[in-house]
Amino acid sequence: MIFIFCIGCMCCTNSYPKISDISLSNEEERGIEEQQDSLNYIWNQITDSMVVLGKHFFYDNKSCQRLIEDGGKLNKDKKVYELILPSLSTHNTLYFINWFSTETSRYTFSYWKKTDKNNIRSSDIYTYTNYRYKKNQSLFKDEYGDSVKVYHTNELNIYSEEFLSSCNKWDTTVLKTRKELLNPMRENEHILAFRVIIKNNMYTIQCVPVVRNILLGNKIGSPTYEIISEK
C-alpha cells in the first residue's frame, strides 16, 4: 500500500505544470491585449493632436504643414512608440520639442518625462529622427535604407540646459521671449514645444511656438537625411 501511495504521489506531483509552463488564461490575455490597444490608441490620439495644434500656427505655410504631418508619421513609428510606451500611464506629464526646417525638409523630436530636477540636461532627454543609412559598400551602386534613429545622453546636444529646464517647468513666457537660450537658427527653421498630461486614460495637450534666435547671413543647407554607414 505504501508503494502504491508513493507512486500516486509522484504521478500527482508530475501532473502539475512548472512555473515556466503556466500560460495566461483567455481572460488575462484579452485584458493585456485591451490594455495595449488602449495605450496605442491614446498615443495615436496624442500624435494626431500634436499635428493639429502644430499646423494651427502655420495655417498659411504649406511647407511647414507638410513637415508637421511628416513628424506625425514619425511619431507613429514602432520604434518611437516603444520608446514612449513606458510613460503612457496615469499622472505622467510628457514634453516634446519639434524642430523642423523647410529648407532641408528635416525634422526631429526631443522627448522626456517630467522630473523634479531643477536642471534638465541633454542626457535626460531622447531625440529621434529619420535617417538614411548606406546598405552596401559597392563601388558601382550605392543603396540606402530609411529608418528611425533614437539618440540619448549627449549624442545630439542641440538645446541648452536653461531652455530644457524652462520647458520642464512649462514656463511659456520664457519659451516665447528668451531667444538667447537657443542656438542661432535659420529663417526657415522652427520649433514647437508640447506638454502632454495623462490622467485616467485621458490627456490634455498644450502647444507653444518657441521664439527663434534668427541667424542673419549665409544660409548653408544640410541634407534631408543624416547619412550613416552601416557597420
**What does the alpha-carbon distance between residue 114 and residue 111 come to, in Å, rounded to a whole number?**
10
**Residue 88 lies inside a defined structural domain of this protein:** yes
Alpha helices in the chain (DSSP H): 2-15, 26-56, 62-75, 78-84, 161-168, 172-177
Residue type, 138: S
**Residue 24 lies inside a defined structural domain of this protein:** no
- Confidence (pLDDT) at 134: 55
**Residue 96 lies inside a defined structural domain of this protein:** yes
Give me the domain span that covers residue 222: 33-229
CA proximity to 124, closest of 148, 145, 94, 91: 94
**Residue 27 lies inside a defined structural domain of this protein:** no
- Of 122-131, 154-163, 214-223, highest mean pLDDT: 122-131
In this prediction the pTM is 0.76
Question: In residues, how long is the chain?
Answer: 231
**Residue 4 lies inside a defined structural domain of this protein:** no
The count of structural domains within the chain is: 1
> What is the chain's mean pLDDT, rounded?
78
CA proximity to 42, closest of 85, 91, 93, 71: 85
Per the structure block, which three cell numbers stand in for 180? 538667447
Q: Are strands 126-134 and 189-199 parallel, antiparallel or unpaired?
A: unpaired
pLDDT exceeds 60 at position 135: no
Q: Which of 116-130, 174-188, 204-218 has the lowest mean pLDDT?
A: 204-218
**Residue 57 lies inside a defined structural domain of this protein:** yes
**Residue 15 lies inside a defined structural domain of this protein:** no
Per the structure block, which three cell numbers stand in for 189? 527653421
**Residue 5 lies inside a defined structural domain of this protein:** no
